[in-house]
A and B are shown apart, each in its own frame.
Chain A
Amino acid sequence: MKPQIVLYCCTNSTTFSGEDIEKRIPGNLADFKISRLPCSGRTDTLYMVRAIENGADMVMVIACPDGCCQFLEGNRRARMRVRYANRLLAEAGIGDDRIHMVNVDPADDQILTTALQKIVVRALDMGPWLTTSS
Chain B
Amino acid sequence: MPKKYHIKPTPAAPRFIPVGRSGIIDWEEDCLKCTTCVKKRCLYDVYKNRAYDARTLVDSIDYQCKNCFSCIQNCPRGVLSKTINPEFLRMGDAYWKPDIIHNTWFQAETGRIPVSGAGYRGPFSGPGFDAMWTDMSEIVRPTRDGIHGREYISTAIDIGRKQHHIEFDASGAARIEMPPLVEIPLPVIFNPLPFGNIGISVTLSMAAAARQIGGLMYVTPETYAPFLKPFMSQLVPLIPADMDVNAPMLQGVRMVELHYAPDILAQVQRLKSHCSERVVSIRVPLNPDAKTITAALTRGGVEVVHLFADYRGNEFVDGDSPRFVKDALRDVHTHLVNECIRDEVTLIVSGGIALAEHLPKAIICGADGAAIDLPLLIALECRVCKRCVTGKSCPVELQNLDPAYGAQRIVNLMCSWWSQLIELMGAMGIRDVRRVRGEAGRAMFFEDLERDTFGAIFGGQSK
Contacts and interface: CB of A to CB of B under 8 A. Distances in A.
B25 A54 contact: no
A41 interface: yes
Contacts of B83: 38-39
Given A71-B81, A77-B29, A38 B52 contact: no
Contact of A35 (B24, B57, B84): B57
Interface in B64-91: 81, 83-87, 90
A24 interface: no
Contacts of B84: 38
A50 B52 contact: yes
Interface in B370-406: none
A6 B56 CA distance: 11
A33 B57 contact: yes
Interface residues of B, number: 19
Given A36-B86, A80-B29, A50 B23 contact: no
Nearest to A42: B25
A74 B23 CA distance: 13
Contact of B54 (A11, A36, A53, A73): A53
Interface residues of A, number: 23
Nearest to B23: A38
B164 interface: no
A112 interface: no
Nearest to B57: A35
Contacts of A11: 86
A46 B26 CA distance: 13
Interface string B76-108: 000001011111001000000000000000000
A22 interface: no
Contacts of B144: none
Contacts of B25: 38-39, 41-42, 71, 74
Interface string A30-64: 00010111110110101100110110100000000
A33 B28 CA distance: 26
A80 B29 CA distance: 10
B87 to A, nearest CB: 5
A54 B55 contact: yes
The residue in B29, B86, B90 that gathers the most chain A C-beta atoms within 10 A of its C-beta is: B86
B16 interface: no
A37 B76 CA distance: 25
A114 to B, nearest CB: 24
B23 A42 contact: yes
A120 B87 CA distance: 24
Nearest to A9: B86
A38 B85 CA distance: 6
Interface string A1-18: 000001000010000000
B27 interface: yes
Interface in B1-43: 23-29
B86 A38 contact: yes
Contacts of B87: 35-36
A51 B56 CA distance: 10
A51 B57 CA distance: 8
Contacts of B26: 42, 44
Contacts of A46: 52
A111 to B, nearest CB: 20
A73 B81 CA distance: 12
A39 B57 CA distance: 15
Contacts of B54: 47, 50-51, 53-54, 56
Interface in B279-320: none
The residue in A36, A47, A51 that gathers the most chain B C-beta atoms within 10 A of its C-beta is: A36
Contacts of A6: 57
Contacts of A47: 52, 54, 57, 59
Contacts of B86: 11, 36-38
Given A41-B25, A50-B52, 10 more contacts: A36-B87, A38-B25, A38-B83, A39-B23, A39-B83, A46-B52, A47-B57, A50-B54, A77-B27, A80-B29
25 contacts: A6-B57, A11-B86, A35-B57, A36-B87, A37-B23, A38-B23, A38-B25, A38-B84, A39-B23, A39-B83, A41-B25, A42-B23, A42-B25, A42-B26, A44-B28, A47-B52, A47-B59, A50-B52, A50-B54, A51-B57, A54-B54, A71-B25, A74-B25, A77-B27, A77-B29
